Amino acid sequence: MLSNIELKQFRSYQDDSFEFSPGVNIIVGPNASGKSNLLEAVLVMARGASYRAADTDLIMFGKPWARLDAALSDGVKRTLKITKSGDKSTKAYVFDEKPYARLSYAHTLPVVLFEPNNLLLLHGQPDARRLYMDDLLEQLEPGFAATRKHYRRVLSQRNALLKRQPHDIEQQIFVWNVRLSELGGHIASQRIALVEKLNQKLGGIYKNIAQAKTKVTAEYESQLPFENYETALLRKLEASLEKDILRGFTAVGPHRDDLVLRFDNVAASETASRGETRTALLALKVFELELLESVRGQKPLLLLDDVFSELDGKRRHALTEYLQNYQTFITTTDADVVLHSFAQSANLIALK
């Protein structure tokens, strides 16, 4: 848990510090008062990166660096400094007085984030659902972040080759096909295992929140068979070379797969009401909390960025029951809406 955080030249904060309670922390203020920036600072301190901006954008406009200092409830101190260098930036970490050039998996803090764009997850484009799976897997599986990064790099190299179309493209592209299938097979297998875990828990969590008998399931959709995914991907890449050359991009692989939620065996994107969609998203966030706690052996931080008001009374009540056991940060423009659910147990941080 975070006990406090100090922000220097971070986003809209010149030099400010905040104390947190181990329970619910409500960050209230009008629009443009810095609520999301403070929540973002908590996330960056925990995971090393923002969910909405590049590192250079975290530095206050016109300043050469930004710095975050935080103390955990166990007394460990954490520092992150981002320094601008031209159009790029570098990061340096200090944990308990020891310097580090990068944030390792062991030094990250598990986090569950619920932000407005999540409300489009079920009905939006597949890339948002792929991002959902991969971001969660980065927190669950050591090494997944590197695999994900390498896959994107190899995919970019293969696509560049498809656009250049050298005369010996079949020979040149073979090595990229092999590497892409190896990395793609690993990513797909991790996603499929995640969806299996999701199916073990999601239905029960949904029924508990909604008090309904609706059957909610998750399905991983791919053009390729789950068994021998790596081999099937390699064969598909080789067989579809001519079509990929015409398209100018790689049309098969985990970067084209999808996660589909179903209500009574029908895709949620086709039938889910506004209320059902919000309940399903709540169920997904509860699933993340429970899974991260189980795998990482510590309670995740729960960040709710301006979404509490999007829930009706029943769903607010259901959410508050789950988050009582987690350190929670909630941003809102209307404190009364949130405070009503927590009586006197919340720590109020008022911004102007």
Same domain, 144 and 260: yes
Same domain, 186 and 262: yes
186-200, 233-247, 315-329: range with lowest mean pLDDT? 315-329
pLDDT confidence of residue 344: 62
Query: Is the Cβ–Cβ distance between 303 and 42 less than 8 Å?
Result: yes
Q: Is residue 79 part of a domain?
A: yes
The per-residue pLDDT for range 197-222, each reduced to its tens digit, is 999 999 999 998 888 889 999 999 99
pLDDT confidence of residue 87: 86
Q: In this model, does residue 240 exceed pLDDT 80?
A: yes
Same domain, 139 and 261: yes
**Residues of the domain holding 220:** 121-297
Q: In this model, does residue 290 exceed pLDDT 70?
A: yes
The arithmetic mean of pLDDT across residues 52-74, rounded, is: 95
Quote the tokens at residue 257.
Answer: 């797969």
Bridge partners (DSSP) of residue 79 are 69, 94
Same domain, 61 and 75: yes
pLDDT confidence of residue 343: 60
Same domain, 290 and 331: no
Strand order in the sheet with 88-95: 13-19, 2-10, 65-72, 77-85, 88-95, 98-100
Tell me the residue type at 4. N
Query: What is the residue-averaged pLDDT of the chain?
Result: 94
Banded model confidence at residue 310, pLDDT cuts 50, 70, 90: confident
* CATH label of the domain that carries residue 350: 3.40.50.300
Q: Is residue 114 part of a domain?
A: no
Nearest to 203 by CA among 216, 190, 184, 219: 216
When divided into structural domains, the chain yields a total of 2
Q: Is residue 321 part of a domain?
A: yes
Q: In this model, does residue 157 exceed pLDDT 70?
A: yes
pLDDT confidence of residue 327: 95
The arithmetic mean of pLDDT across residues 230-248, rounded, is: 97
pLDDT confidence of residue 323: 79
Structural element, H or E, at residue 258: strand 258-263
The per-residue pLDDT for range 69-94, each reduced to its tens digit, is 999 988 899 999 999 988 899 999 99
pLDDT confidence of residue 325: 87
Q: How far is CA 173 from CA 176, 183, 224, 251, in A?
A: 5, 15, 20, 15
* CATH label of the domain that carries residue 228: 1.20.1050.90
